[in-house]
Structure 1
Amino acid sequence: MSSIAVRRRSGRGKGAGLGLVAWLLGIVFFLPIAWMALTSFHSESDAATNPPSFGAALTLDGYREFFGTGGGASPWPALINSTVASGVSTLFVLLLALPAAYALSIRPVKKWTDVLFFFLSTKMLPVVAGLLPIYLFAKNAGMLDNIWLLVILYTSMNLPIAVWMMQSFLAEVPVAIIEAARVDGARLPTILARVVAPIALPGIAATALICFIFSWNELLFARVLTGVVAETAPVFLTGFITSQGLFLAKVCAASLVISLPVLAAGFAAQDKLVQGLSLGAVK
């Protein structure tokens, strides 16, 4: 009995140690966000001090300048453009990736592993390598500074990783349930919507959140292919960085506001996200 008690105590000690390490790592990763949030409430002169002044007076000047109350440009068109481009492209990705992943997992085609590798290999090309051809295409097609061009680009960019992720999720769906639905006369759209999707909902939520984050944070294509009409939030944020003057507090305020939609989406889907990632999407 004494040896069992010693083992239990050692196991509890290891668990407490791992918990402490996890908390320390969490705090380390959270410190830059906390620093950014604190700096956003400082004046520009206090934010520019080195070392930083933690006890400086708090102010909302950075947020006022970001929202254009001081006469600057309003961020709402850029935020709306980012929401449309990210949301619509994520919806298109899910609509296209679900049947593709179904064909590769539940009813696999020949050499389906080669198909998955082909999907993943499209992400190996540097994004900047395709910038000029896409720019010339958009220019000749009259789609420069068009939000729907970004929707098409973000859909094509996120579709490979979405198919790769959802294939592993759909592989966990019991084939017997699908066969039973097929025997009852259900067609493929009904099977996907009423049988496969509810079972794989955590994986679908994880895929949607990751695609939304990738689209929301994308800067290169949005910077080159948009101007005033289709300007997105990351492009709007870069406008605060100038070669003269102080802008640190304003940039921190803008960064915090632009990050809130992604943080809110992650918080709302955290349960489904954890369940989905635990199914083996990230390996």
Structure 2
Amino acid sequence: MARAITNRRKTINTAVAWAIGIAIFFPILWIFILSFKTEGNAIATPLKMFFSGWTLESYGLVMERSNYFRFFMNSVILAVGSTLLGLIIAVPAAWSMAFVPSKHTKNILMWMLSTKMLPPVGVLVPLVLLFNKLGLTDTHFGLVVVLTLINLPIIVWMLYTYFKEIPGEILEAARMDGAGLKEEVLYVLTPMAIPGMASTVLLNIILAWNEAFWTLNLTTTAAAPLTQFIASYSSPEGLFYAKLSAASIMAIAPILIMGWFSQKQLVRGLTFGAVK
């Protein structure tokens, strides 16, 4: 029998949840307020900053100085491109691990996940040299490949988990009806795993959009995404807090809006198969 939860316990849990949520959201609120201040007011004492005038000056200066839409389109190309390429590779890999028995499956999955624990700076120099040699530096193709490889272990893990929740008898029935491997994956397996695949796509887009280390080190201008757009407001002359905050808000706003409207699908996919 399930244990009853008292009203006091519910109140405490709610208060703790709100405190954690506010703590996580506070930095975003802070830079949001700074983005509507002048540079002078942005470095004023916190109390004075809250009561000083609000202005769109920083946004105007950012738009005048930088081609925001070029950086935005580069971010879209890299996030969507790496996600699609990752799915093309991960779907067959996850299918084979989920439905083709092997005693090495768990070891392979753990090895793939362990690559996420490798510090990126550990492979920075050889990768930069390789990109320079192949002419891939500051190109969309090069960055799409890198972002795909970075997030591929997570994509495979998530899809493997969703595929394992699908009864193998359904696929066997499809084979008995004459379905080949292509038809089995495209017309039987994929439609049944749509919720899980949708959450995988959304999560990968968020991860690729927020990736800063590789995009800052492997791009300069042509393929530079919004991470470079933000970094351009940190210069040897100092930090321009108001303009830096405005650039940050403009960079994170699209992904925040996407996450807000897709939160139900994201939660549904992440909990897919959790309740039987």
SS class of match (1:228): coil
Residues 198, 265 of structure 2: 8 Å contact kept: yes
Residues 135, 225 of structure 1: 8 Å contact kept: yes
Q: Which residue of 2 aligns with 1:56?
A: 52
Q: Which residue of 2 aligns with 1:4?
A: none
More moved, 162-171 vs 20-29: 20-29
In 1: Cα distance, 2:32 partner to 2:272 partner = 34
Superposed counterparts of 1:12-91, under 5 Å: 12-52=7-47, 53-68=49-64, 72-91=65-84
User: Which of 227, 251, 255 lines up with 2:248 in the alignment?
Assistant: 255
More moved, 19-28 vs 116-125: 19-28
Superposed counterparts of 1:1-283, under 5 Å: 11-52=6-47, 53-68=49-64, 72-244=65-237, 247-279=240-272
Q: Read off the aligned partner of 2:57 and give its amino acid letter.
A: D
TM-score, normalised with respect to structure 1: 0.89
SS class of match (1:67): helix
Residues 205, 269 of structure 1: 8 Å contact kept: no
In 1: Cα distance, 2:9 partner to 2:135 partner = 62
Deviations 1:219-262 (A, max 9, x none): 22222222221111101211101233561111111111111222
Deviations 1:11-58 (A, max 9, x none): 233223322322232222222212221111111111111234211111
C-alpha deviation, 1:217, in angstroms: 1.6
Q: Read off the aligned partner of 1:135 and give its amino acid letter.
A: V
C-alpha deviation, 1:109, in angstroms: 2.8
Runs of 4+ in 1 over 4 A off after TM superposition: none
More moved, 167-176 vs 201-210: 201-210
Query: Identity of aligned pairs, percent?
Result: 37
Deviations 1:145-188 (A, max 9, x none): 21110011111111112111211111111222222222222222
In 1: Cα distance, 2:218 partner to 2:25 partner = 33
CA RMSD after TM alignment? 2.0
SS class of match (1:276): helix
In 2: Cα distance, 1:36 partner to 1:245 partner = 17
Deviations 1:55-91 (A, max 9, x none): 11111111112212xxx13122111111101111111
Residues 229, 247 of structure 2: 8 Å contact kept: no
Residues 206, 272 of structure 1: 8 Å contact kept: yes
In 2: Cα distance, 1:140 partner to 1:251 partner = 34
In 1: Cα distance, 2:135 partner to 2:178 partner = 47
Q: Read off the aligned partner of 1:164 and give its amino acid letter.
A: W
Residues 44, 246 of structure 1: 8 Å contact kept: no
Unpaired segments ≥5 residues, structure 2: none
In 1: Cα distance, 2:69 partner to 2:218 partner = 19
SS class of match (1:122): helix
TM-score, normalised with respect to structure 2: 0.91
C-alpha deviation, 1:193, in angstroms: 2.2
